[in-house]
Amino acid sequence: MLRNSQVRISKPVVVPRLKPMASQTHRISLNGILSPKSNEQGKNHKVSLSESSMSIILRSEQLKAKYVKVVLKSNWGHHEKLTLIALTLFGEKNQRIPILYSSTIPAIELTEDFSKLLSGNLISSAPGESWSIPFSHGYEISIVLLIANTAKIDFIRIWNDKYESSSCLREFSIVDSEGNWFEGEVLAGFGLDVYLRKSEMKSVPISHISDLFPKNKSMERYSDHHGLVPLVLASSIKIEFLSSFSGSDKAGINGIKIFDINGKQLEWDDIEYCNLGNGITKSKVSMIFGTEEGLNRTSSSKMFSFKTDWNPPPYIDILLKKPAQIAKIEIWNLNSLELQLNNGMKSAKIFLNSRCTWVGRLRIGNGGTKMIGNSITNVWFIDNFQVRRKINVK
């Protein structure tokens, strides 16, 4: 339950003593920080929100900062607490953004400060090690973070505890002082990288949100045994090859197949461009998609072969004409005896929207067509039987 107490804060960096601010000093607007529901909570629990707000305003002025407000709306069923492993803000080149000041609205009694939550550590080795706060259903608690005015947020990482599923964060929203926002749900035991969207209107009916922000528009929602599937709309795909079976500078694959959540295989016409990075090839990149005769082949002239020094690793970069929810990627390994099967790829990473979503070992080719399925590595991004059936019957 929420209790009457003072705001407790953590200070990852030293905050100087506050001084009276000149009248011309720019202030951060807190219209987006204090919601009617938060004010109602404050009255019920006799918490002076005005003092909390004034403290944040003064801190923001002193530090020349802007705010990020994360509203914790619900958990997965626990009646007394809400837990999180990490809440991290990232800027350019995946660099963590320093937090100048952190607080809660309304004021609540924290059993531990923010340092654990904001440390960036995503691993809890035992139950009870995650950051937690008192929480009751029907209430919302906001975490307000102040960052430098010059900081540019690329994405925000929210990570749930894998041990305490019922107390994990479920529904949440994020808004910053520049009008960027996000509202969503995170699965118990899972995490999300959240990309804020710029609001074009101050007040928009929720029914119109999907029309204003097509990238957030829900296409078709599916669930698997973990709950709602958090598939994102991917506009780019990158497959990075970490090693080959031979370790030689000669390398190659047969091709790849990409399927969306509706079971549709993406064709060459769906690709804006495709490029080989950190390698040299004489093959046409369109061959990767089996544009002429499909991928059930063994001819060396049909393989996508290339040379690389593996420093850095070679990769295939794909930009889609239209973003798609990717459900499965098949990697068909080098399948030509003439080119030597051990020059095929041994391990790889897959990135969707520049975020690593899979790392694993690949199957080696066998040089034939009858058992060519043994040379295909199936990478699934969803466990839903309905979606898998759509793809497997193709």
Strand order in the sheet with 86-90: 86-90, 155-159, 191-194
Q: What are 358-373's pLDDT values in tens digits?
A: 999 999 999 999 889 9
* The pLDDT of residue 267: 92
| Number of folded domains that form the chain | 2
Residue 26 lies in a domain: no
Say whether both 112 and 203 belong to one domain. yes
State the residue for tokens 């305003």. 57
Residue 178 lies in a domain: yes
Q: What are 160-216's pLDDT values in tens digits?
A: 888 888 889 999 999 888 888 888 888 888 888 888 877 543 433 434 434 434 444
What's the whole-number mean pLDDT along residues 122-141? 78
Distance from chain centroid for Cα 324: 16
Which range has the worst mean pLDDT, 169-173, 206-210, 334-338, 381-385? 206-210
Could you list the residue range(s) of the whole structural domain that residue 91 is in? 36-217
pTM, rounded to two decimals: 0.47
What's the whole-number mean pLDDT along residues 75-99? 89
Say whether both 204 and 332 belong to one domain. no
Residue 358 lies in a domain: yes
Say whether both 245 and 376 belong to one domain. yes
Residue 17 lies in a domain: no
Which range has the worst mean pLDDT, 52-61, 97-106, 286-295? 52-61
Residue 333 lies in a domain: yes
For residues 128 and 67, give the distance between their C-alpha atoms in angstroms, rounded to a whole number.
Answer: 29
Phi, psi of 148 (to 5 degrees): -60, 145
Phi, psi of 341 (to 5 degrees): -60, -30
Say whether both 238 and 197 belong to one domain. no
Say whether both 131 and 69 belong to one domain. yes
Residue 290 lies in a domain: yes
pLDDT at residue 5 tops 50? no
Residue 12 lies in a domain: no
Residue 206 lies in a domain: yes
What's the whole-number mean pLDDT along residues 243-254? 96
Percent of the chain with pLDDT over 70: 72
